[in-house]
Structure 1
Amino acid sequence: MAFPIHRPRRLRRSAVLRDMVRETTLEPSDFIYPLFVVDGRDVRRPIASMPGIFNLSIEHAVAEAKQAKALGVPSVILFGIPDQKDGRGTQGYARDGIVQRAIRAIKEAVPELQVIADVCLCEYTDHGHCGVLEGDHVANDATLPLLAQMAVTCAQAGADIIAPSDMMDGRIAALRRSMDEAHLVDTPILSYAVKYASGFYGPFREAAQSTPQFGDRRGYQMDPANAREALKELRLDLDEGADMVMVKPALSYLDIIHRVKEHCQVPVVAYNVSGEYAMVKAAAQNGWVDGNRVMMEILTSIKRAGADLIITYHALEASKLL
């Protein structure tokens, strides 16, 4: 009887051996932890659709940032939810806005932690869209100066990285120009270069109170059916000066992460978004899956696809396991 010459199982027969030959590894340093910051004092409000995640007043956000750093997570990304909103999202670019104050507090308390400022108007507008409106239309060019102003005020507050997520055309060039004019030439831009109009954002919109009051965002976010367009968006943002790029969401777009990784020479970030997180939590709470095992499998798949860094709500619990 002939026996196989090649026996891949030889390298799977013990945990130590499997660890030695593992192709893809995760570390806490791979993660970026999102924080939702709100006005007020002593606010730690649970987000129903995202178990374990909270709307946090600044002092609680600082405590979370300290915990992240202690676990080896090198960075947080901040989303601000103001008490007052208007049609132009003015609290987004106010020098004393909620996210600007949170940046200052976190950098003072944990100066070595990298703070990323998400730059978009959706959390700050009363209509929930990512830019200013002309009728029922999001006005691309009229939005750019406001985004640029937000980038400058966040960087001046101490943000280490600026991350525009609005998907307006030309925004990277507009932000870079304004930041350079404000003598912020060393502050890098992490572009949400490839951001799809996804159904996986639902829990985030509850957390950030940013659900559009009419219509949707398909007029500026990408069609989930398109892959070649992702490379076009990538090239445009790199040409305009992006230092890092992002693919969002992650789990249903692993092929896009892989394509982006193959076509650029800058760090690639993937956003493991709120709906992806919520599905794992819901299934685990119902006893349908082993939550920790599925969490780590998903995060590994995102890194295996090509992500250098992963924005994930799992960052703290995954780091504890690692």
Structure 2
Amino acid sequence: MPAQPFPLFLSSRRRWLAQAGWGAVACVAAPASGAARRGAAPPRYPLAPRQHFWLPHLSPSGPVVALVNLHTQMIQVFRDGVAIGFSSVSTGKAGHGTPPGVYPVLQKARHHRSSTYNNAPMPYMLRLTWPGVALHGGHLPGYPASHGCIRLPHAFAARVFETLRLGDLVMVVRHALPSGASPITLLAPITAQAAPMLPAGALTARNFWRAAPPAPGVPLTLLASLPQQRLHVLQAGALLAACNLPPVAPGTAPEGNGLCLWQADGERAAWRAEGDASTEALAARWWLASGEVAQRLRPHLAAGSRLLISALPAINDVHRGLAGAAG
């Protein structure tokens, strides 16, 4: 099979995009809380209670971090800088609020019971603070209801338990996004070392490059966002480069997500593809049009490098806020 400008391994993700309503993210009304029953409008969250998605193939290896947003009652799990898990949560209720911050996983216990609250079961427990904040499987009524812990759907909790290791970071924020903004993004907000993923220059520069050169032989992840027309290049869970992409002509954008995987065959670049030709053509066009970016990346596309073309945004105001604070 002949070599191509960029090797493609395409896999459609229409089903989970449609299930989540992520073409235009629609918030889901939570069940009425006490305040709602007294006449206040119930909160609206991006995912329904207990709704979750687990897509490990989007990033099969690399450092892991997680983001919990108390305002949206949602968690995202990122591996090698790319989101692989999305779920609704139930965090601390009034008087027992879950504190924002960045926490390492301190302890793991598959079968755990609370020493404070009547021996309550806390399956798949990942401890974040010694006083008692943890991730674990539990009841999700559709609003904050815990005594400070972050409850997850049981099936999702089991996957997170297997994926996060001791020392991996969980970032908890309370961030209300602007009306119409997507709370669901594909790029991690922080690196595995708790640094902002995007320095200020990566948000504004047409072509941004990290000062340090890429590590030889380490695969790259190229994350292309269709709605934001921006490419982010990651290596070992940290940003290497970012650049603008040519706009997509109306009616030519592929549906869903495409996952493209670099394969090496000795000294030749081999590739294989499946799925719709529009994503393949779009990736090739971007690769050819990116000029300087393509030239600088080509020597570093080690075996295992991949390109993810997404109908979801890569970044939102959480990233911008962290970049501004760092700057």
TM-score (norm 1): 0.32
Larger RCO of the pair (alpha carbons < 8 Å, separation 6+): 2
Query: Which protein is richer in helix relative to its size?
Result: 1
Q: TM-score, normalised by structure 2?
A: 0.32
